[in-house]
Structure 1
Amino acid sequence: MVILINALANILPINNKTTGALSDQYPNLFVPAGITFSIWGVIYFLLLGSVIFQLFYVFKSDKEDGFVSKIGIWFLVSCLSNSLWILAWHYEKVALSLAIMLVLLFTLIQIYERLKIGLDFSTSLGGNLWIKIPFSIYLGWISIATIANVTALLVENNLSELGLSQSIWTQILIVIGILLALTILFKRKDIFYGLVVVWTYYGIYLKQANTAFEGIVKVAILGIILISIGVFIQIFRKRTYIFQ
């Protein structure tokens, strides 16, 4: 259902506007280049694999790790929230879309915690590849998307600056994302969450590289460097859940 609605959102498109066009309608410097949103293809592919993986184990007497019982209802709520967010966003209900986005973020945090990502190292390779990694990436993207959605609401209500220049405001948001990514990276040994933030900040860099907003470009590059170093450290020391 989620994949279908996402496809229709841009093929029809819903309310005669694509998702990207609507993002441009609420211009803010935190939104990355359009190519960045291709990560949705990766997320949906991994989620499809996750569903197939879970269905496979439903019919086994040995229900490996009890993934379905752990995340079943939360996954359904996340799918519903994702679909509703698209509809709210395309019909330009920005406040409603943010509320739905927060519900989606909450459900993904619940899934992340129930899977004990970065805390439980007894999961098989298949479980890591098709259960934990998809939700690491999904949560990473929605964490950053929520920040962008908040900014869109501020723009709609002419409160985007809050006493600050748009450039400074964006730099603050980028720093918040850096701190969040590094915290998850080192506390939960989750390189995939970190890589999503690196990808997003690369998108911000691409969009702002040839503009006058040098501060944003510099902070985005700093974020890419710091998080990438953290990822390499975790991989080198084999301190990531995929290696356990």
Structure 2
Amino acid sequence: MHLTDRIQQIVVTLSYLACLVGSMIGVGVFGGTPIASAAGGALASDATLLAPASAAFSIWTVVYAGLAGYTVLQWFPTPASADRQRSLRLPVAGTMLLNAAWILVVQAGWLWVSVAVIAVLLALLSRVLVILMRTRASGMLDRLFLDGALGVYLGWVCVATAANVAAALTSSGFDGAGIDPNWWAVAALVAVGGVGIALAVRSKGRVAVAAAIAWGLAWIAVARWDGAPHSVPTAVAAGAAAVVVLGVALSLRVRAATSAARA
């Protein structure tokens, strides 16, 4: 074990603890304002057309549990996974610190700063995906806590970024510039769906990423169909995008498995 590895393991662990404390602040445990109520309620489920229903945020339980598993696992790399872990530790630690930073800036009401933070978070998670694709999982735990959990993290942040931008625009008084807000929402959902398809193709059908994107989109559809603000075009576009993203990823995965079986 190199000294550099030990330092990185400590950095990851401290970053996870910061992330966990941030999440507790975000749900009001340590006296912070819950995210749905922070920044004047700009990120509440009824604040914009791109806000997912509140049930969607239960995915954070999966993300935080996955990050906990990753934090423990990275202390015990096998020889086969050592290089992979070495490449991932600092980028993943960075995503956890950015996660905590996002919560703090939202608590402060700085929505446009939160957009910048989540954009950097999305870029860093995309870098994590590249590392995952270039390296091989060494076992079931590796696939679960690295490929699986980090994939879910990326997929959810793709949807959260769109919702965050919509919240910042709405709070700034943007009213569509003469275009019906429903069509702005549809265009944004098409863009999110396009990103989801691109990630599925680029990653050869990584289901964890696509499933998290589909989850977020599906809950946007539910929120716009059953709740306020009601928007049939947004609900239909979100539901269709969810189906297409997940369908493309699954088809690519099946195709890859079929090709491997024939080889």
Paired residue for 2:106, among 72, 86, 89? 89
| Distance verdict in 2 for CA 1:22–1:167, change over 3 Å | farther
Letter in structure 2 aligned against 1:105: L
Paired residue for 1:217, among 213, 216, 235? 235
The Cα of 1:201 is off from its aligned counterpart by 1.4
TM-score for both structures, normalised by structure 1 = 0.86
Residue number in structure 2 paired with 1:136: 151
> Percent identical across equivalent pairs?
20
Residue number in structure 1 paired with 2:207: 191
Alignment of 1:65-76 (within 5 A): 65-76=82-93
Three-state SS of the structure 2 residue aligned to 1:146 is helix
| Distance verdict in 2 for CA 1:160–1:65, change over 3 Å | farther
The Cα of 1:23 is off from its aligned counterpart by 7.4
Deviations 1:14-49 (A, max 9, x none): 55x311223772221001100000100000001111
The Cα of 1:228 is off from its aligned counterpart by 3.2
The answer to whether residue 222 in structure 2 is matched with residue 202 in structure 1 is no
Q: Which has the larger displacement, 133-142 or 226-235?
A: 226-235
Distance 2:154 2:69 in 1: 17
Paired residue total: 235
How large is the RMSD of aligned CA atoms in angstroms?
Answer: 2.3
Distance 1:194 1:24 in 2: 31
The Cα of 1:238 is off from its aligned counterpart by 4.3
Distance 1:228 1:9 in 2: 29
Paired residue for 1:20, among 36, 47, 57? 36
The Cα of 1:11 is off from its aligned counterpart by 2.9
Contact 2:126 2:154 in 1 (8 A): yes
Three-state SS of the structure 2 residue aligned to 1:56 is coil
The answer to whether residue 60 in structure 2 is matched with residue 44 in structure 1 is no
Paired residue for 1:234, among 252, 256, 263? 252
The answer to whether residue 142 in structure 2 is matched with residue 124 in structure 1 is no
Letter in structure 1 aligned against 2:139: S
Contact 2:39 2:110 in 1 (8 A): no
| Distance verdict in 2 for CA 1:5–1:51, change over 3 Å | same
Unmatched tracts of structure 1, length 5 or more? none
The Cα of 1:121 is off from its aligned counterpart by 4.8
